[in-house]
Structure formats: C-alpha cells, structure tokens
C-alpha cells in the first residue's frame, strides 16, 4: 500500500485562527484536539504550521473528513482553503473551497477512478488563471507547470528546475511552495493529538 496523506491549507490563514476553528470542529464531534505528547506515534498526530502565505494542517492517519473540514474552514474563516490529498502514492490532488463551496478541483490523472467523459475530465484540470485568482500575490505562471495531466507512463523532469520533486505524489510540496505555503514537517511544526469520535 502506498502513501495516503491529507491536509488543509488556509490561504492567508494564521495559526491561532486555524487552531481555534479545528478545535471547535473536533470538540463538536466529541473528539479531542490538544498538544501531543512525545509518546504519541507520528501517524496519530496532526501537524500545524504557519507560513507567509497561510497555515496548513496535516491530518493524522485514519481521519477521512478532510474535505468536509476544509469546506468548514473556508466558510468560518472566509478564506480560500486547499484540501490536498496524496492517494496511495499514485497522485496528488486538491479541491479548493471558497466560502464553504467547492470552486475548483485538480487531479493529474483524471481517469484514475474510472473513465470520464471529456466534459467530466476537464473539470479536474483547471487553468492556472482560475487557481491564481483565489490566491493573493500568486501569479498564474508560477502554477501553470503543475496543473497538467500526467500521461499513463509518467512525465520526466520537474515542473520547475528548482523543485525538490518531479511529477510524483510529493510534487504537492513544490506546488504548495508556489502558494507561499510550507509543508508541516514533523519536528518542525506544532503537533497535536487529533481524535474525532463521530
């Protein structure tokens, strides 16, 4: 089994406000969101990091409502929220929420879960202009090299020469960097016990 990873990136969001809204969401579902102890395994922790372009939370293994929480954060904070996901080590993707509603989506392998009509496929391949208009200070040319379809046999090289990753699942980190958002690496970010009962 490959990597499964989910996170929400709040464009322009600050650590304290994201922490407060996540806490309210978790408590409302009779869960807990509190600073983690060192004994808690990393895959059971959430990681929160503020960057110049916003704040990102990486969810612990087993949490499956990342799109729902991303939508809630966008509605509560009135800021654009990217719901990022790495699926089985095969691809990275996102849904973009504004005001609680999905406005854009991206998947470099649109037919991954089944063959789509041309009209359906195009909904998974937004233009860089479409994305950039929701992120202040970001130019579409920064994003365009990432928002492309991958052929079945993969793509060589990198989207940008200074990227860390090629056209693989972890390319999401390079895309986030173009948004002014850093990936919350364990040990370099605030860590939390994140548990939702319902």
> By residue range, what is the domain housing residue 151?
5-195
H or E element, residue 15: helix 15-28
Tens of pLDDT along the chain (198 residues)? 689 999 999 999 999 999 999 999 999 999 989 999 878 888 889 999 999 999 999 999 989 999 999 999 999 999 999 999 999 999 999 999 999 999 999 999 999 999 999 999 999 999 999 999 999 999 999 999 999 999 988 899 999 999 999 999 999 999 999 999 999 998 889 999 998 876
Domains held by the chain: number: 1
Residue-level pLDDT at 151: 94
Q: Cα separation of 93 and 82, whole Å? A: 10
Q: How far apart are CA 18 and CA 65, in angstroms?
A: 16
pLDDT at site 187: 82
The whole-angstrom separation of Cα 180 and Cα 36 is 26
- The residues, ordered by sequence, that sit 6+ positions from 111 with a Cβ below 8 Å of its Cβ are 121
Q: What pLDDT is recorded for position 34?
A: 92
CA pair distance 163, 198, nearest whole angstrom: 39
Single out the residue of 22, 15, 97, 24 nearest to residue 63, CA to CA: 22
Q: So what's the pLDDT on residue 164?
A: 98
Asked if residues 14 and 49 have their Cβ atoms less than 8 Å apart, the reply is no
pLDDT at 198: 60
- pLDDT at position 56 is 98
- Confidence at residue 42, expressed as pLDDT on a 0 to 100 scale: 85
List the strands of the sheet with 81-87, edge to edge.
Answer: 32-35, 190-195, 45-51, 54-58, 5-11, 81-87, 91-98, 101-106
CB 107 within 8 A of CB 95: no
């Amino acid at each position: 089994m490959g990597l499964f990873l989910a996170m929400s990136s709040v464009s322009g969001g600050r650590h304290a406000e994201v922490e407060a809204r996540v806490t309210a969401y978790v408590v409302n579902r009779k869960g807990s969101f509190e600073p983690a102890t060192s004994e808690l395994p990393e895959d059971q922790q959430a990681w929160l990091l503020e960057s110049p372009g916003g704040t990102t939370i990486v969810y612990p293994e087993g949490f499956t409502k990342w799109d729902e929480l991303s939508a809630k954060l966008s509605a509560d904070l009135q800021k654009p929220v990217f719901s990022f996901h790495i699926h089985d080590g095969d691809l990275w993707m996102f849904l973009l929420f504004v005001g609680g509603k999905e406005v854009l989506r991206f998947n470099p392998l649109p037919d991954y879960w089944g063959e789509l009509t041309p009209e359906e496929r195009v909904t998974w391949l937004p233009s860089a202009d479409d994305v950039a208009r929701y992120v202040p200070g970001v130019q579409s040319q920064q994003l365009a090299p990432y928002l492309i379809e991958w052929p079945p046999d993969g793509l060589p090289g990198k989207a940008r020469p200074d990227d860390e990753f090629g056209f693989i699942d972890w390319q999401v980190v390079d895309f986030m960097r173009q948004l002014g958002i850093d990936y919350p690496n364990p040990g370099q970010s605030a860590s939390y016990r994140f548990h939702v009962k319902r």
